[in-house]
Structures are given as C-alpha cells and as structure tokens.
Amino acid sequence: MSDMERAIAALRSATSIVFFTGAGISAESGIPTFRDKLTGLWSTHDPGKLETAKAFRENPALVWGFYLWRRNQINQAKPNAAHLAVQRLATTGRNVAVITQNIDDLHERAGSVDVAHLHGSLKSPKCFACHRTADLQPSQFDLPQHAVERDPPRCPRCNGRLRPSIIWFGEDLSTVVWKSAVATVQSCQVLVSVGTSGIVTPAAEIPQIALSSGAVVIHVNLVDVSLGTPNEFMIIGKATEALPALLSAACGI
C-alpha cells in the first residue's frame, strides 16, 4: 500500500483528528513562510533579527512597523482550500482540533472554532512592560505606504510600549496553551501535520508526542519531513491540493 492509501485508511476509521499546521498551509494564501526571503521594503531585513525581544528593545519602531506590515499582509490574504478542508471535516461529526504555529487567523476565517495558537496571534497586542493585552482602534494599525517604522502605541494602564502577542525566538510558550495542546494530541487517533518544517521546538515535538501516544501521523508537505517511523505517512504535495484530495478520498468531504 502507498502512504496515500494508508493515510486514507487511517483517516477513514478515525473519530478524533488533530491538524497541526505551520506556515506552509498559509503560503498559497500569499503569506510567505519563514524560510522565504522577505520582499519589498523589507527585502534587506533578516526576520530572525526582528522577531526577538532584544530587537524590540533596541528599535521598537522598526519591529512594530514590521508586524504592522505582516498584519496588513494577513488581512489581505484569504483562507485557501486547505484551511477550508480542515473546517469542512469538523462538520462531519468527527472530533477535530487545530493546533497551529501560525500567527495569522486564516483557520478562524475559514470557520474553524477549536484553534490553539502555539506561537500567539497578531489579534490583540500586549504590553512589553506589564504583559496585559490591549485593544487598539483600527487606525492604530495603519502603516503609511513606504514606511517601515512606526512607534508602538502605549499601554493604557502603565504607559509601557505595546508589542505583538506572539512568542518571539528565545521566549517560552504559554504553559496553558502548550499543556492543553499536548493533552489534545495525546488523545487523538490521527495527527495531520501540514506545512511545517519541524525545526522550531517545542512545537516541533508535537508529531513525536502523537506517535508516542499511539496515533498515526500524516505529513502533508512539499518535501519529505517525516521522522522515519512506521506509523507516519508522507504525502508530498501542495497543501491546497494534497489535503483536500486526502480528506475527500478518506472522509467524502
């Protein structure tokens, strides 16, 4: 049997399925992955050097400007066929959860409700000093054309600078979100990992946790990212094509 056939068989009999997603699921919506080079005004910047607390401390306007640019990019993007297929599966009576490393909201905009963001999201910023979240007016997210820098707004409570509510390199994941994600993974029958390189820990441990708990892991990616264990099936292809084809063949959606 091919990996595709074995993946279809595993999904067909599963009632509890977790989707573990990374930048690759949103790539075809126009949101670049972390391994793509930045474009336009940001082409000379290294994202690895902007996505840290140290960078924010040294140049808050540059880092805030970078995330305003990314937020605009996300707002202009639309959920694609892969996000929509995940949501459709949840309407079939199966127990479906989504654990994403993405800071975009494309799963939610596709209609998925049970979405855990391991690396946070760009929705509500939080204070760099007191850590409380703050709601901003839409105009405070504007980034003038051709601008890269913009001073971050101030916290209404302590006047600290606001930063995105995401996990930067070197920061710990939220214990609550991580523990709940691990519990979800430990109780699923099939984990479908879509568009993640599996190199950033601890998120990258999720497929291994699923395997250790007796689940089957199906990877959907442009390249082979499997760990080489017997209960893993590798589907090579674009998320927008391979995932809907897999779910349609297995679950008739």
Using CB under 6 A as the criterion, which residues of the chain lie in contact with ligand APR when the complex forms? 22-24, 27-28, 33-35, 101, 119, 195-197, 199-200, 221-223, 225, 238-239
Shortest Cβ contact with ligand APR: which residue?
24
Q: With contact defined as beta carbons under 8 Å apart, do 181 and 118 qualify? A: yes
CA-based Rg of the chain, rounded to a whole angstrom?
19
Q: Which is nearer to ligand APR, 36 or 142 (CB)?
A: 36
CA atoms of 67 and 73, how far apart (whole Å): 10
Residue of 107, 117, 119, 219 marked active site: 119
Residue 156 CB, shortest distance to ligand APR, in Å, is 28
Shortest Å, Cβ 189 to ligand APR: 23
Provide, rounded to whole angstroms, the least separation between the CB of residue 146 and ligand APR. 26
Distance, CA of 87 to CA of 105 (rounded, Å): 13
Residue 232: strand, helix, or coil: strand
**CA 184 to CA 142: how far, in whole Å?**
37
Minimum Å distance from CB 83 to ligand APR? 12
Cβ-Cβ contacts under 8 Å for 117 (sequence gap 6 or more): 100, 102, 103, 177
DSSP bridge partners of 217: 191, 232
Active-site residue, 119 included: yes
Nearer to ligand APR, 36 or 151 (CB): 36
| Cα-Cα-Cα-Cα dihedral sign, residues 111, 114, 117, 120 | positive
Closer to ligand APR by CB, 24 or 207: give it. Answer: 24
Query: 126-127 and 162-163: which strand pairing?
Result: antiparallel
At 39, is the secondary structure helix, strand, or coil? coil
Q: Which is nearer to ligand APR, 155 or 194 (CB)?
A: 194
Query: Looking at the annotation, which residues are catalytic?
Result: 119
